[in-house]
């Protein structure tokens, strides 16, 4: 029933992505109440998730990535010559 800090951190990460079972979440909550290390990790994980969600980061689409990769390859070939 009791879990280690490492296992609690792993469950916390899984819970962040809704991959943890209800039993795992229950074990994490038990550890959270008495372990300051786990509590700190969970709180930092929550802050990180909120910061990423609030950042509204946009990623390159596939075509843009391919274009950049081709340009990079061309520049590398120029430097090798």
Residue 28 in contact with residue 37, Cβ under 8 Å?
A: no
DSSP tag of 2? -
What is the residue extent of each domain of the chain?
5-80
Integer Cα distance of 18 and 12 in angstroms: 10
Q: Which pLDDT score is estimated for 80?
A: 86
Reading the chain (81 residues) residue by residue, the pLDDT tens digits are 688 999 999 999 999 888 999 999 999 999 999 999 999 999 999 999 899 889 988 888 999 999 999 999 999 998 887
Q: In this structure, what DSSP letter does residue 18 have?
A: T
pLDDT at res. 1: 61
pTM of the model: 0.66
pLDDT at 72 (0 to 100) = 94
């Amino acid at each position: 029933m009791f879990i280690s800090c490492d296992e609690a951190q792993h469950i916390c990460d899984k819970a962040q992505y809704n991959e943890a079972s209800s039993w795992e979440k229950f074990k994490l909550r038990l550890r959270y109440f008495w372990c300051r290390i786990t509590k700190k990790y969970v709180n930092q994980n929550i802050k990180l998730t909120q910061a990423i969600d609030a950042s509204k980061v946009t990623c390159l689409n596939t075509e843009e990535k391919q274009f950049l990769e081709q340009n990079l390859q061309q520049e590398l070939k120029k430097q090798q010559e």
